[in-house]
């Protein structure tokens, strides 16, 4: 309080803060919500801008992951590369190989890099265990956390290949390596045992350098490693810059919409605080004159009014910072799950910068009307404060009075013209609240559409596979000579441990077509192919039959309808410099086909490339699953049980598909949009509340006169509510188109951040009825904000109102 004076000055400030309770509460709550939303937005923007960097530093990630040929260099020589100039830390050599496992249902996983490490720690790449424990003995494996799912859990078996007699490993843990140095880990001895002629053991070395921030520095370091290891020893390297680009690409999608909400919050805070302080000065002109008459200088008057804003704002800012941290931490924890146990806490400078900036904004917003108070002449302030203001808005009262509406309603509709600046501030608050609500509705609808479009298989009612889980025992062999069934021989298969059997797809297809209730179906298999112009394997989904019901959303072009066609994502077109209509060469096992690009699919799977083609282009490809639509009135669960009974003796299985849940990142973004929108709408309502309170206090004597000549409490209530209804309508008419335009601006930027365009199903999410209801939302914000002071005015007694000045 010493900053604003002592003695009489302090008493004046305390008196005004205590007596102007509505003003105090509005400033405190508005700043609290603005700061809370800014802290959350700022924290997520910081986390989204560099989550990889923070996780990489915490794990001591590898700047270069290098693979060496152990036949062309020695272990000692590789270990010596850790002492090269510029190398700050190294780890290895670790044995490494590649294998393609199958889960307990027989479904093949992508080709995985398996590295032998005795533990998750080390000088470089300190792998974070998400669950379970590290592999300690042969027969155990730790998988990357991204593979965890219903069939891949701790304790589940994982067959190392689909060949008969392949070893089976037990999953003992899930871990995360931000550097992406491996997809799985086991003991070094286990890696050596799994190596094959096609996938021999290589030696992996992990390095950190004192200079590795540019591509040129990485290339220079790579040359040093190649020269030190010996001729031909270096097989390949992976740069942390490439891994970082992929990781930041996904997180970058949150930045555009968080910036949009942040800007809305800042603008609304300025509007609300300026309106509150300006209203306080406008309704206290007589008091300002009295303060000057008893000896207060203009500077002291200015400081008094700035203090009346900064004191409640300071309390609101402190509470907002705490609330923002409480809201941000769990959301950051969900985001951090992508990077293992790395804690993405609120950055300290966000907790400093946001409150400081808010305090400056409040001070500047209060300073402008406070300077006006300081410049007023003493006599003029007293005279203006005691005299009623006449003439302002009279034309509006006369014009609106001609409408065929009750007099109380027309009186209320004309009221905003009495204080046009205050009405403008209220209009802007309502408009920005409507903008936030419209944008949030469109954003959450688009995110929902994105989640649904990325799991087209869930649209089918039933999935019929050509394999069955290991825990489903095969039918017993027929009795010999009419006796009891032969027991399993020693070492033979028993329930839960037998090899998964693969059914003949033709027999499974026949079982589906012969089953009553079958509507339509198509076959599908997921595999890896080679594409000319792209290094490394590419994921491919091959379809049999009419697969349009399981198609991805199309950005341009169309879905495959037959042989010789392929659908690719945006990233494929960019990486290969191709376009729709071009031809690409695709190789599956030993078969090669030239396929014409007919469509650009909407795919948000990050850096992974997945193409979609017809199975008929590759004679050796067979479906691993059939996606079935049942006829109307047929229950999917009952249908699946009947089909399962028919295909299990063949080696297949059938399950009813449950609706897929939303992706975790999409849920986080939707929750943030809803949370920030509620905050901004609440702030808009508080702005309306403060303005209506000021209007009601100024007109309390007039309301007393109206009551004295017969106006009922309901008429007073309608008068006050009518004074904000027109503002709500206009605010809605402004806010809905602005929110619609903001959605159309932000969504393509979010799509570009993850390397894809957006289909119309994601962009065109507003319905006409929805837009109409959002427009009425402006009226709702205005009416709810005015409801409390309207109720007070309706309940006020006539005598009390007439005595109040």
Instruction: Specify if 431 maps to a domain.
Output: yes
Establish whether the linkage from the previous residue to 93 is cis, with ω within 30° of 0: yes
| 55 contact partners, CB below 8 Å, separation of at least 6 | 61, 178, 336, 339, 340, 342
The residue segments making up the domain with residue 741 are 391-455+664-805
- If asked whether residues 437 and 540 sit together in one domain, one would say no
- If asked whether residues 675 and 736 sit together in one domain, one would say yes
pLDDT of residue 340: 46
Query: How deeply is 658 buried, as exposed, middle or buried, from its count of CB atoms within 10 A (0-12, 13-18, 19+)?
Result: exposed
Instruction: Specify if 69 maps to a domain.
Output: no
Instruction: Specify if 413 maps to a domain.
Output: yes
Asked if 113 and 98 count as a contact pair (C-beta separation under 8 A), the reply is yes
- If asked whether residues 505 and 645 sit together in one domain, one would say yes
Asked if 153 and 170 count as a contact pair (C-beta separation under 8 A), the reply is no
The total number of residues written for the chain in this structure: 805
- If asked whether residues 411 and 514 sit together in one domain, one would say no
pLDDT of residue 800: 57
- If asked whether residues 783 and 713 sit together in one domain, one would say yes
Instruction: Specify if 772 maps to a domain.
Output: yes
Give the span between the Cα atoms of 678 and 340, in whole angstroms. 31
Tokens 């959303």 label which residue? 553
- If asked whether residues 108 and 206 sit together in one domain, one would say yes
Q: Which of 128, 112, 70, 121 is nearest to 91 (CA)?
A: 121
Compute how many other C-beta atoms are within 10 angstroms of the C-beta atom of residue 359. 16
Give the span between the Cα atoms of 330 and 637, in whole angstroms. 37
- If asked whether residues 703 and 727 sit together in one domain, one would say yes
Number of domains in the chain: 4
Give the span between the Cα atoms of 438 and 452, in whole angstroms. 21
Asked if 350 and 42 count as a contact pair (C-beta separation under 8 A), the reply is yes
pLDDT of residue 473: 45
Instruction: Specify if 492 maps to a domain.
Output: no
DSSP H or E stretch at residue 142: strand 140-144
Instruction: Specify if 649 maps to a domain.
Output: yes
Out of 596, 623, 656, a domain closes at 656
Q: Which of 89, 234, 244, 225 is nearest to 180 (CA)?
A: 244
Query: How deeply is 674 buried, as exposed, middle or buried, from its count of CB atoms within 10 A (0-12, 13-18, 19+)?
Result: middle
Instruction: Specify if 232 maps to a domain.
Output: no
Out of 656, 684, 717, a domain closes at 656
Q: How many CA atoms lie within 13 A of 770 on its CB side?
A: 13
- If asked whether residues 252 and 199 sit together in one domain, one would say no
pLDDT along the chain (805 residues), means of 10: 51 57 75 78 66 79 88 88 89 86 78 86 86 89 84 86 84 88 89 74 90 85 87 82 68 69 75 71 63 70 75 85 78 55 64 85 76 67 51 67 76 77 85 90 86 74 74 44 36 40 83 87 87 74 87 88 89 80 85 89 73 89 88 86 87 76 64 78 82 75 71 81 88 92 88 78 88 90 86 70 53
Look at the alpha carbons of 451, 455, 458, 459 in this order and tell me if their dihedral is positive or negative.
positive
Instruction: Specify if 523 maps to a domain.
Output: yes
Q: Which of 711, 671, 738, 725 is nearest to 794 (CA)?
A: 711
- If asked whether residues 95 and 47 sit together in one domain, one would say no
- If asked whether residues 187 and 203 sit together in one domain, one would say yes
pLDDT of residue 737: 94
Q: How many CA atoms lie within 13 A of 759 on its CB side?
A: 23
- If asked whether residues 651 and 679 sit together in one domain, one would say no
Out of 337, 355, 387, a domain closes at 387
Region at 132 (left for phi over 0; alpha for psi -120 to 50; beta for the rest): left
pLDDT of residue 488: 35
Look at the alpha carbons of 692, 696, 697, 698 in this order and tell me if their dihedral is positive or negative.
positive
- Helices within 568-663 (DSSP H only): 570-576, 636-647
Give the span between the Cα atoms of 420 and 727, in whole angstroms. 11
- If asked whether residues 673 and 799 sit together in one domain, one would say yes
pLDDT of residue 7: 57
């Amino acid at each position: 309080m010493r900053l604003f004076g002592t003695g009489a000055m302090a008493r004046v400030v305390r008196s005004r803060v205590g007596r102007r309770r509505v003003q105090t509460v509005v400033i405190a709550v508005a700043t609290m919500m603005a700061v809370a939303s800014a802290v959350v937005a700022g924290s997520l923007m910081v986390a989204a801008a560099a989550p990889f960097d923070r996780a990489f530093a915490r794990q001591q990630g590898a700047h270069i992951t290098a693979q060496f040929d152990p036949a062309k260099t020695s272990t000692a020589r590789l270990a010596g590369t850790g002492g090269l100039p510029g190398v700050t830390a190294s780890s290895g050599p670790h044995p490494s190989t590649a294998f393609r496992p199958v889960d307990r249902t027989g479904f093949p996983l992508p080709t995985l890099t398996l590295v032998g490490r005795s533990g998750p720690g080390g000088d470089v790449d300190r792998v974070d265990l998400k669950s379970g424990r590290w592999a300690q003995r042969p027969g155990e494996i730790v998988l990357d956390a991204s593979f965890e799912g219903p069939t891949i859990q701790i304790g589940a078996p994982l067959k190392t290949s689909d060949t008969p007699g392949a070893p089976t490993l037990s999953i003992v843990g899930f871990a995360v390596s931000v550097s992406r140095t491996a997809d799985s880990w086991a003991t070094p001895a286990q890696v050596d045992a799994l190596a094959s002629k096609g996938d021999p053991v290589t030696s992996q070395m992990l390095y950190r350098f004192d200079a590795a921030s540019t591509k040129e520095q990485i290339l220079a370091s790579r040359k040093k490693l190649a020269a030190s290891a010996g001729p031909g020893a270096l097989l390949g390297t992976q740069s942390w810059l490439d891994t970082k680009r992929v990781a930041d690409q996904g997180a970058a999608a949150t930045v555009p919409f968080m910036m949009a909400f942040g800007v809305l919050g800042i603008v609304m805070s300025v509007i609300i605080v300026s309106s509150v302080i300006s209203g306080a000065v406008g309704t206290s002109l007589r008091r300002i004159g009295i303060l000057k008459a008893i000896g207060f200088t203009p500077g002291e008057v200015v400081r008094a009014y700035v203090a009346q804003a900064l004191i409640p704002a300071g309390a609101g800012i402190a509470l907002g910072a705490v609330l923002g941290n409480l809201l941000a931490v769990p959301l950051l924890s969900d985001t951090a799950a992508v990077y293992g146990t790395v804690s993405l806490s609120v950055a300290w400078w966000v907790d400093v910068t946001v409150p400081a900036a808010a305090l400056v904004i409040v001070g500047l917003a209060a300073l402008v009307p406070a300077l006006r108070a300081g410049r007023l002449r003493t006599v003029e302030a007293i005279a203006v404060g005691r005299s009623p203001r006449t003439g302002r808005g009279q034309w509006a009262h006369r014009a609106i009075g001609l409408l065929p509406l009750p007099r109380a309603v027309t009186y209320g509709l004309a009221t905003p013209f009495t204080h046009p600046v205050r009405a403008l501030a209220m209009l802007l608050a309502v408009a920005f609240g409507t903008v936030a609500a419209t944008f949030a509705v469109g954003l959450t609808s688009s995110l929902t559409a994105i989640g649904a479009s990325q799991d087209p298989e869930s649209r089918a009612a039933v999935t019929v596979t050509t394999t069955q889980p290991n825990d489903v025992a095969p039918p017993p062999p027929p009795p010999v000579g009419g006796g009891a069934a032969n027991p399993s021989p020693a070492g033979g298969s028993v329930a839960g441990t037998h090899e998964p059997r693969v059914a003949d797809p033709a027999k499974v297809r026949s079982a589906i077509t012969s089953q009553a209730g079958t509507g339509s179906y198509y076959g599908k298999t997921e595999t890896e192919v080679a594409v000319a112009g792209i290094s490394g394997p590419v994921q491919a989904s091959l379809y049999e039959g009419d697969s349009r019901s399981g198609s991805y959303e199309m950005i341009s072009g169309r879905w495959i309808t037959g042989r010789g066609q392929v659908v690719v994502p945006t990233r494929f077109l960019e990486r290969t410099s191709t376009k729709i209509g071009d031809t690409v060469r695709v190789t599956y096992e030993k078969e090669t086909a030239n396929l014409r690009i007919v469509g650009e699919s909407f795919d948000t799977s990050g850096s992974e490339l997945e193409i979609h083609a017809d199975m008929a282009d590759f004679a050796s490809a067979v479906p691993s699953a059939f996606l079935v639509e049942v006829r109307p009135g047929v229950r999917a669960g009952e249908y699946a049980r009947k089909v399962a009974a028919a295909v299990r003796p063949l080696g297949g299985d059938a399950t009813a598909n449950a609706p897929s849940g939303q992706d975790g990142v999409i849920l986080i973004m939707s929750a943030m949009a809803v949370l920030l929108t509620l905050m901004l709408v609440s702030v808009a309502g508080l702005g309306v509340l403060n303005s209506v309170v000021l209007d009601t206090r100024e007109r309390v004597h007039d309301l007393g006169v109206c009551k004295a000549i017969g106006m009922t409490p309901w008429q007073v209530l309608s008068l006050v509510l009518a004074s904000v209804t027109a503002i709500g309508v206009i605010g809605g008419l402004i806010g809905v188109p602005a929110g619609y335009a903001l959605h159309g601006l932000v969504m393509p930027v979010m799509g570009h951040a993850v390397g894809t365009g957006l289909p119309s199903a994601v962009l065109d999410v507003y319905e006409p009825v929805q837009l109409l209801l959002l427009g009425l939302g402006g009226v709702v914000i205005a009416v709810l904000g005015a409801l409390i002071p309207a109720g007070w005015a309706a309940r006020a007694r006539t005598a009390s109102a007439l005595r109040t000045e």
